[in-house]
Chain A
Amino acid sequence: MSTPRIKFYQTGTYTAGNRLLDEAARTVQSRMDRMNSLNSGHRACQGCGEALGARYAVDAAMRASHNRLIAINATGCLEVFSSPYPESSWQIPWMHSLFGNAPAVASGVAAALRAKGRGDVKVLAQGGDGATVDIGLGCLSGMFERNDDVLYLCYDNEAYMNTGIQRSGATPPFARTNTTQVVGEAPGNLLGTGKNLPRIAMAHGIPYVATASVADLHDLETKVTKAMDMQGARYIHLHVPCPLGWGSDPAHTIRVARMAVESGLFPLFEAQFGTVVDRTLIRHKVPVERYLELQDRFKHLFGPPPNTEAIAALQAIADANIVTYGLIV
């Protein structure tokens, strides 16, 4: 990733801000005039990674678009916790239609803005992994292949959390959900199932695809800002831990996300027109256990007796990512 890493400034660019850094090198989130697009009072659980990810990403998008932005939201946690009737926690133009049609609605809004000659207003679509990788995939694929001028943000918390933690196409192998219980010969989600949406998006040859994590704010904001400055269909896949669904401590949301990145299980990379062009290096590599042990959904892997084969299979996925994306120099 091309985020400048400033050496010796006490914390470099690892913290949100730092009085020793130039204003320009600090994050949008560290600014007193940040938009707070998703404001206080929303009903997300304690330590919600999705709320955090949405705050990070939408504020960065607002700043990059000079506060001229329309957001389209799919059904999901983000929509439900931010807009229980008659309240809204959004401070931006924001629209919700159905679970599966957010990309189509966004395409329509983009077409309307073009028809009205409003090139100054940008369109953002957002949804969870259920709306994105499963239910809305047809609409999303259409938005991609038409290269509609929309940035689509997927907040990936790896299951249908809003409806009660059911498995999605983004649920990782061995994870416990309410539809992949820890029973039988292969407890948890089956190895070899699921799909990799960033690669599917890349296969459409769209101008920009990136992955990002709430564990790396500078990296996330840089990618959103870069995407907002581009035309056509763009896709960013954000990794957002869910304390409720993953069985992690709400205080550990960022730590869990960081362990996913540092183990290699969630690679951070950027692709343009179908080709990977950059990646964010792992700073301190950790074994996948450091990630898994923070979450009750993987508790069954640690026994007794420990499921060393399953842990080895997850480690193999992480190691393959490290090789594929060159995450360690």
Chain B
Amino acid sequence: MHRKPFAITLDPNSGLANHTGNWRTMKPVYVDRLPPCNHACPAGENIQAWLYHAEAGAYEEAWRRLMEDNPMPAIHGRVCYHPCETACNRGQLDEAVSIHAVERFLGDLAIKEGWRVQCSPLRGKRVLIVGAGPSGLSAAYHLTRMGHAVTVHEAGSKAGGMMRYGIPAYRLPREIVEAEVARIEAMGVTIRLNTKVEDIEATIQDGGFHATFLAVGAHLARRTEIPGFDAKRMLDAMTFLSSMEGPSPLKLGRRVAVYGGGNTAIDVARTVERLGAEPVIIYRRDEAHAPAFREEVAEALEEGVRFQWLRTIAKADQDKLTVEVMELDEHGKPKPTGRYETLEADAVILALGQKVDTGFLRNLPNVRLSESDDGTIEVDQCMMTGHPGLFAGGDMVPGEQSVSIATGHGKQAARHIDAYLRGTEYTKPPSHPLATFDRVNPWYYTDAEQSKQPVLALARRRATFEEMVGGLDADTALLEARRCLSCGNCFECDNCYAVCPDNAVIKLGPGNRFAINYDYCKGCGLCAEECPCGAIDMIRELK
């Protein structure tokens, strides 16, 4: 430094010699946290990542990111019960992001635009999949993308499993199922319809398969005895719902009793309503204890479905049912009261749950059934049964059952099968800690209500099988995607860069996020405090 008179004209920037970073006791570090939506997704989607692209209107990129985990977004956007939205942090601010609506928009756009997925070149291994439901199709998709030749054997005359034979068309139009299945087939997956596997070992040997994934679902109806009732007028939910896929629906009469309190019972009753009959749901516990989702019950009530809560069917004579009134004990268990009522019914549909038909596995002693009586089979953490190379997932393994859980199983199984075929084991990379709402600085987010999907007029809902809920248009889908808070992951809002009083945050440019200049960072914590999404931790400085 050259000589200057005392206290006159200091050189610009000479203060840089003063490394104020040595004042620090705490230091900011950038982190990535696991968003609650991703954490809750049964299909293992990276929801925040695909919303990030959708926010910018880059729909094809968003769809491709989504497709890395789930090959059927148009289906899931319609039928998934979206646990992601229950977990969404925005729900604590105003309303959750309508993730399913954006997913459906992307799925429908992909069908309209005919977007296709790239696969790896074939690597010479052959995989058999039994069952073309969500789990089997998901596994087929992922295995094909990994370069394996996949053949699916399906007992039914069409692919889709429960998506076709269990979920009514007013919730999931069949052309959507067909389009998403066709896209998987177009990748090179062979689906053999009307091919029921009777002897699994023989099928594997005849086809020369190196690994097998079982995903036959749960189709055997649970039944109950109703004394005095004509068996011809009693059928199960699966038989009834799958008959809707046939040339003409079954003739049931005018008054139809549906026995059960799950989502299937609701689906059956709403289908009966649409056929012009009068459904009544009979369930042994009350509405609060019914396994059906609240919104399903509410929609059924809107459509005119009647409910007889706290009733069991005791007996039947001619066209009358005698039901016993139940009451709940303190544990929510129903107890008989000895009081009886009668109600008229021309038919009874049993919606008491399904079991797995495992007859085709009888020759494999190493495949063990689970302890429950539902016929599900045990798998290890790699989704493999006791028989080497034989994996299973979806409704035929113990646990909760849904299309998205089954789809998630398909992906997990594909990873384990791929590892098995390579002679290794797949280990899930460790997850980041959860991005909780208390880490969000909500002040920065614009107030914005959830976009609502259009709903069909009630008169049409009651009389037709037209899709009940409509999709979002492009403008609304964009706004909805932009409601995402990006919990726990930097979205480059520049707040940390702006709020530092010491110019100690370095902006690395679009897509590259930021770094801290620890020479000057005094550790005040303003950046962490003012980060909208909680992507900065303050940690103790090690001395």
Asked if A32 is at the interface (CB within 8 A of a chain B CB), the reply is yes
Residue of A nearest to B56 (CB): A20
Bound-complex Cα distance A192 to B355 (A) = 80
Q: A10-B482, A44-B501 are in contact. Are A15 and B493 (CB under 8 A)?
A: yes
A16-B55 in contact (CB<8A): no
Segment with Cβ contacts to B, from A83-91, A224-232, A272-280: A83-91
A14-B501 in contact (CB<8A): no
A46-B522 in contact (CB<8A): yes
| Chain A positions 72 through 108: 1 when the CB is less than 8 Å from some CB of chain B, otherwise 0 | 0000000000110111111110000000000000000
A47-B10 in contact (CB<8A): no
| Chain A positions 1 through 24: 1 when the CB is less than 8 Å from some CB of chain B, otherwise 0 | 000011111111011111110000
A26-B526 in contact (CB<8A): no
Bound-complex Cα distance A251 to B26 (A) = 11
Asked if B483 is at the interface (CB within 8 A of a chain A CB), the reply is yes
Bound-complex Cα distance A29 to B498 (A) = 5
What are 27 A-B pairs with beta-carbon distances under 8 A?
A10-B445, A10-B491, A17-B494, A17-B498, A19-B510, A30-B498, A32-B507, A36-B503, A39-B15, A39-B16, A41-B15, A42-B502, A43-B20, A46-B23, A46-B522, A46-B524, A51-B501, A52-B501, A56-B498, A82-B15, A83-B10, A88-B13, A251-B524, A251-B525, A251-B526, A254-B526, A254-B530
B532-A41 in contact (CB<8A): no
Residue of A nearest to B538 (CB): A251
Asked if B504 is at the interface (CB within 8 A of a chain A CB), the reply is yes
| Chain B positions 1 through 30: 1 when the CB is less than 8 Å from some CB of chain A, otherwise 0 | 100101100111111111110010000000
B501's partner among A8, A27, A47, A85 (CB-CB below 8 A) is A47
Asked if A206 is at the interface (CB within 8 A of a chain B CB), the reply is no
B491-A88 in contact (CB<8A): no
Say which size band chain B's interface belongs to: 35 or more
Residue of A nearest to B522 (CB): A46
Asked if A327 is at the interface (CB within 8 A of a chain B CB), the reply is no
Q: Hey, which chain A residues are within 8 Å of B494, CB to CB? A: 15-18, 26-27, 29-30
Asked if B68 is at the interface (CB within 8 A of a chain A CB), the reply is no
Asked if B195 is at the interface (CB within 8 A of a chain A CB), the reply is no
Q: Hey, which chain A residues are within 8 Å of B12, CB to CB? A: 88, 90-92
Within 8 A of B (CB), among A253-303: 253-255, 258, 283-284
A10-B15 in contact (CB<8A): no
B519-A47 in contact (CB<8A): no
A87's partner among B14, B517, B519, B523 (CB-CB below 8 A) is B14
Chain B interface main SS type: loop
Asked if A204 is at the interface (CB within 8 A of a chain B CB), the reply is no
Asked if A173 is at the interface (CB within 8 A of a chain B CB), the reply is no
Q: How far is the CB of B3 from chain A (nearest CB, A)?
A: 11
Within 8 A of A (CB), among B344-390: none
Asked if A48 is at the interface (CB within 8 A of a chain B CB), the reply is yes
Q: A11-B532, A26-B494, A46-B522 are in contact. Are A91 and B13 (CB under 8 A)?
A: yes
| Chain B positions 26 through 69: 1 when the CB is less than 8 Å from some CB of chain A, otherwise 0 | 00000000000000000000000000000110000000000000
B14-A86 in contact (CB<8A): yes
Q: How far is the CB of A29 from chain B (nearest CB, A)?
A: 4
A16-B493 in contact (CB<8A): yes
A15's partner among B13, B15, B18, B444 (CB-CB below 8 A) is B444
B525-A47 in contact (CB<8A): yes
B444-A14 in contact (CB<8A): yes
Bound-complex Cα distance A21 to B448 (A) = 17
Q: Hey, which chain A residues are within 8 Å of B20, CB to CB? A: 40-43
Q: Hey, which chain A residues are within 8 Å of B16, CB to CB? A: 39-41, 89
Q: A16-B498, A251-B528 are in contact. Are A43 and B482 (CB under 8 A)?
A: no
Bound-complex Cα distance A49 to B111 (A) = 53
Q: Hey, which chain B residues are within 8 Å of A11, CB to CB? A: 444-446, 493, 532
Asked if B151 is at the interface (CB within 8 A of a chain A CB), the reply is no
Bound-complex Cα distance A51 to B15 (A) = 14
Asked if B509 is at the interface (CB within 8 A of a chain A CB), the reply is yes
Q: How far is the CB of A224 from chain B (nearest CB, A)?
A: 14
Within 8 A of B (CB), among A202-225: 217
Asked if B464 is at the interface (CB within 8 A of a chain A CB), the reply is no
Q: A27-B498, A55-B501, A91-B12 are in contact. Are A19 and B17 (CB under 8 A)?
A: no
Residue of B nearest to A18 (CB): B493
Q: Hey, which chain A residues are within 8 Å of B519, CB to CB? A: 40
Asked if A63 is at the interface (CB within 8 A of a chain B CB), the reply is no
Asked if B278 is at the interface (CB within 8 A of a chain A CB), the reply is no
Q: Hey, which chain B residues are within 8 Å of A44, CB to CB? A: 501-502
B446-A17 in contact (CB<8A): no
Bound-complex Cα distance A250 to B520 (A) = 16
Bound-complex Cα distance A87 to B448 (A) = 48
Q: A10-B491, A254-B529 are in contact. Are A47 and B524 (CB under 8 A)?
A: yes
A87-B18 in contact (CB<8A): yes
Bound-complex Cα distance A41 to B479 (A) = 42
Residue of A nearest to B14 (CB): A87
| Chain B positions 493 through 516: 1 when the CB is less than 8 Å from some CB of chain A, otherwise 0 | 111011101111001011000000
Q: A47-B524, A91-B13 are in contact. Are A14 and B503 (CB under 8 A)?
A: no
B10-A15 in contact (CB<8A): no
Bound-complex Cα distance A10 to B532 (A) = 11
Find the residue from B4, B6, B16, B17 having the highest chain A CB count within 10 A. B16
A40-B503 in contact (CB<8A): yes
Q: A10-B445, A15-B493, A20-B56 are in contact. Are A43 and B529 (CB under 8 A)?
A: no
Q: Hey, which chain A residues are within 8 Å of B13, CB to CB? A: 39, 88-91
Bound-complex Cα distance A38 to B503 (A) = 8
Bound-complex Cα distance A89 to B446 (A) = 36
Q: A19-B492, A254-B499, A254-B529 are in contact. Are A9 and B19 (CB under 8 A)?
A: no
Since A38-B503, A251-B525 are in contact, a sample of 6 more A-B pairs with Cβ atoms closer than 8 Å, ordered by chain A residue number, is A44-B501, A47-B526, A51-B502, A55-B501, A56-B498, A250-B526
Q: How far is the CB of A253 from chain B (nearest CB, A)?
A: 6
Q: Hey, which chain A residues are within 8 Å of B529, CB to CB? A: 251-252, 254-255
B15-A89 in contact (CB<8A): yes
A14-B446 in contact (CB<8A): yes
A40-B486 in contact (CB<8A): no
Bound-complex Cα distance A107 to B214 (A) = 86
Asked if B282 is at the interface (CB within 8 A of a chain A CB), the reply is no
Asked if B106 is at the interface (CB within 8 A of a chain A CB), the reply is no
Bound-complex Cα distance A29 to B530 (A) = 14
Bound-complex Cα distance A86 to B498 (A) = 28
Q: Hey, which chain B residues are within 8 Å of A83, CB to CB? A: 10, 15
Find the residue from B6, B17, B55 having the highest chain A CB count within 10 A. B55
Q: How far is the CB of B373 from chain A (nearest CB, A)?
A: 50
B10-A88 in contact (CB<8A): yes
Bound-complex Cα distance A12 to B445 (A) = 7
B10's partner among A5, A7, A86 (CB-CB below 8 A) is A86
Q: A7-B448, A8-B448, A11-B444 are in contact. Are A250 and B18 (CB under 8 A)?
A: no
